[in-house]
Copies of this chain bind each other. A is one copy, B any other.
Amino acid sequence: MEIKVLKNVMIKNSAIGNDNRERLLKHGVFAINITSSPGAGKTTLLENSLAELNKVHPCAVIEGDLYTSRDAIRLKDKCVPLVQINTEGGCHLDARMVSSALDNLDLEKIKLLIIENVGNLVCPSSFDLGENLRVLVYSITEGADKPMKYANMFKSAHVVLINKVDLAIACNVDIDSLEAEVKEVNQSCKVFRIAANRPESLIEWNEWLLDYVKKFRKGRD
């Protein structure tokens, strides 16, 4: 009974996720879903890259959070449309929530939609939101042993941003070992090393993303 209901929930979510993707595609919007543990640096990443991204492809942000609007407030001076979703204790965003958020955005005016998921290294992996690219921000403060332990999240990511690399020595984490394990779990994912609070460390990732979005848009035209 429980399993059957769970299966139904997942099937429904996938269908709505696909609808979201088609709807976004019609408007030429590329969507990324950013996942991570709590405090791994998703919002700091946006604080320090949104202006650069927005110069090339007009952006909008959907902020997922259990209760507060704190992350949205941190981004409010970035001059991009922003919709807050509060899950009221829920452990992940789902496709239906994102669909409602899309109703509140003028999709004709944006080219890159960035969805910041709830901080959780387990549940969000199972929920397709309609994104084109899933980006996992992983903080090295969580240790080098997590890719195998939280394998679903690492497997489902197209890109892994290894964050807070400046704390590697203090946290006694060997970044090469960590990256090797990421690759062991998910051979095809792209990996960047960043310190999200240092904008200069984000240049390579920003350029890769902008180029990826450009190719997507070319493929569409």
Q: Give A residues with C-beta under 8 Å from B.
A: 1-2, 5, 8-9, 37-40, 65-68, 70, 89-91, 118-123, 139, 141-143, 145-146, 148-152, 164, 166-167, 170-171
Contacts and interface: CB of A to CB of B under 8 A. Distances in A.
A12 to B, nearest CB: 9
A145 B69 CA distance: 11
Nearest to A122: B91
B148 A70 contact: yes
The A interface is mostly helix, strand or loop, or mixed, namely loop
B118 A120 contact: no
Contact of A148 (B68, B141, B148): B68
A121 to B, nearest CB: 5
A146 B66 contact: no
A166 B170 CA distance: 9
B91 A149 contact: no
Given A38-B121, A40-B142, A167-B167, 8 more contacts: A38-B150, A65-B149, A66-B151, A67-B148, A89-B122, A89-B152, A141-B164, A167-B171
Nearest to A90: B122
A91 B68 CA distance: 22
